[in-house]
């Protein structure tokens, strides 16, 4: 298959804005939505749901962004994703399940990565910690590198 010159890219950032640092995935998707790239679309969502499978079936590259508790690791992690072989469907999904749903229904899933952004405060609240803000800066730089490599 010939590589596309300008692949279509979908960024899905997710998190709960009522759980302090948990919102960083969603906020990063908001920031990325302002980038002037016609091949890039960004979706900030509260949570991953099966309905997103149709979106995934129509792009070449998918990047999921989520916060994780920085207990041991304190760096942004970028993890290549594959579909899962065990589907447990509900109202909430994780990225490999969404890829599997896209494949099961549409016969296709995109190349995909999960960007894990370290954070420290998941308590009820609406403030992002200084640590998570720094992690967001690192995540944006890493996502930009990832997109430059794939374009």
CA 89 – CA 121 distance, rounded (Å): 29
Domain presence at residue 1: no
DSSP letter (8 states) at residue 21: G
Q: Answer yes or no: is 4 within a domain.
A: no
- Under the banding of pLDDT at 50, 70 and 90, the label for residue 25 is very high
- Residue 99 is encoded by which pair of tokens? 């890829």
The pTM of this model reads 0.89
Q: Is residue 2 part of a domain?
A: no
Q: Is residue 69 part of a domain?
A: yes
Strand order in the sheet with 61-69: 40-45, 9-14, 61-69, 111-119, 77-81
125 inside domain: yes
- Classify residue 137: in a domain, yes or no: yes
The pLDDT assigned to 54 comes to 94
Q: Which residue range(s) make up the domain with 141?
A: 9-150
pLDDT digits (tens, 9 = 90+) for 5-17: 567 999 999 999 8
- The mean pLDDT of 113-128, rounded to a whole number, is 92
Contact 115, 76 (CB under 8 A): yes
Distance CA 141, CA 114 (A): 15
Strand pairing partners for 66? 116
* 83 in any annotated domain: yes
Beta-carbon count within 10 A of 99 CB:
25
Looking at the 3D structure of the chain, how many domains does it have?
1
CB 10 within 8 A of CB 55: yes
Beta carbons of 76 and 145 less than 8 angstroms apart: no
Write down the pLDDT at residue 82. Answer: 87
In the chain, what is the straight-line distance between the N-terminal and C-terminal CA atoms, in Å? 16
87-106: average pLDDT: 80
Local structure of 64: helix, strand or coil: strand
Residue 72, pLDDT score: 67
Task: Give me the CATH number covering residue 89.
Answer: 3.40.50.1450
List phi, psi (to 5°) of 56. -65, -30
Residue 3 lies in a domain: no
The mean pLDDT value for 105-117 works out to 95
């Amino acid at each position: 298959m010939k590589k596309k010159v300008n692949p279509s890219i979908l960024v899905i950032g997710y998190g709960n804005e009522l759980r302090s640092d948990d919102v960083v995935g969603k906020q990063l998707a908001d920031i990325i939505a302002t980038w002037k790239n016609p091949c890039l679309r960004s979706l900030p969502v509260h949570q991953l749901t099966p309905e997103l499978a149709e979106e995934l079936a129509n792009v070449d590259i998918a990047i999921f962004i989520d916060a994780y508790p920085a207990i041991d690791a304190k760096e942004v992690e970028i993890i290549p994703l594959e579909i899962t072989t065990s589907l447990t469907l509900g109202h909430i999904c994780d990225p490999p399940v969404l890829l599997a749903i896209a494949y099961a229904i549409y016969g296709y899933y995109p190349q995909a990565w999960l960007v894990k952004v370290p954070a420290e405060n998941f308590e009820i609240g609406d403030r992002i910690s200084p640590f998570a803000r720094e992690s967001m800066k690192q995540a944006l730089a890493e996502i930009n590198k990832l997109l430059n490599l794939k374009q």
